[in-house]
Chains A and B, each alone.
Chain A
Amino acid sequence: MPDNNGRPNHIEDALITLNRGQWFGWTNPKDKIYVNLKLSEKVGVSGNIVDNPITELPTEIELTTKLKELQDAWDDNS
């Protein structure tokens, strides 16, 4: 969740930019670190519950790189 100013500060902020909908979740929502990241089994699409079309998690490096991109973009615009 972005900080109070809106600056991305967590890999979750990067995750929601990769795919739409509820494709990911956490094995421990109170400890949102990469090793606790998981794929959702089901997603809701247009009133239907279907298997998650996303079958592979991004790597930790991909996420941290994406988060850095978002932070740089935010810094450039602020």
Chain B
Amino acid sequence: MTLTTINLAALGDTINLSTEVTGTLPTGNGGTGSTATTFVNAASNVTGTLPVPNGGTGLASGTTDQFLKFTGSTTVASAAVEGGLSGYDRWQMNSTFSGDAEPITANWARTGHGEFAKIGTGMTQSSGVFTFPNTGIWEVKFTCQFYGDTNAFGRAQIKWSTNSGGSFTSSGWGDNSSWGQPNGNNGQYQTITSSILNVTNAGTFRVNINAEQSNNSNGYVYGTGADCTFAEFTQLGT
């Protein structure tokens, strides 16, 4: 006969739970299945990543200078911070000339006021042909300051190329004139033009800067300490 139950009341006896019970109570009977209570040590007993649906990040580690980012509604990943300028460069014309320069091929120098050089890698320039450091959406702005006589006319123009400068296309221009200026023989007038360009291949994309004047004897205002005629390159996005 197998003993399966003990009727203590019928026996008029007691069992001391502190000293007289050993073994394990199965989990099916409301026990732990263990001889001792087990706790999870988060420092030593947890591995892997806690999934996003469970309140985790899905990440086991991070990357320097990156933040958590949601893609869609649940997937979490780390990504670089977006916002602020990742690329900016400014080049000034440091000498003058007269008449037209299509394009301006010489006398470009990177601006260096107040110890500023550039943000990011910066542009490279050869004979007035500018190359971008990386792909992305870029704004190119050209500020051109002319000397003019009483009826002078000037044009600033930006042109771009996708075949390494083999051929260029105008992306727009800015015109101005000195008409009506009281100081005609030493009039200075300015025009600004800008272009938004999608640089899809930094290896082959090029830009050049052009200036024209109605009077071939008139010059341009330049600066070696200050920017008077200059081009700016700003990366707006990727």
What is the interface of chain A, defined by CB distance below 8 A to chain B?
1-2, 5-6, 12-13, 16-17, 19-26, 29-30, 32, 40-47, 49, 77
Q: How many residues of B contact A (CB 8 A)?
A: 33
- With A6-B185, A16-B97, A21-B100 as known contacts, state yes or no: A49 contacts B105, CB within 8 Å: yes
Chain B proximity of A48: nearest CB distance (Å): 8
Across-interface contacts of B128 in A (CB, < 8 A): 42, 44, 49
Interface pair A42/B217, CB less than 8 Å apart: no
- Contact for B219 among A16, A25, A29, A42, CB less than 8 A: A16
In the complex, B221 has a CB within 8 A of chain A: yes
In the complex, B151 has a CB within 8 A of chain A: no
User: Which of B97, B98, B168, B219 has most chain A Cβ within 10 Å?
Assistant: B97
A-B pairs with beta carbons under 8 Å apart, 14 shown: A1-B96, A12-B95, A19-B98, A21-B99, A21-B100, A24-B97, A25-B106, A25-B107, A44-B103, A44-B104, A45-B100, A47-B102, A49-B128, A77-B185
Across-interface contacts of B222 in A (CB, < 8 A): 1
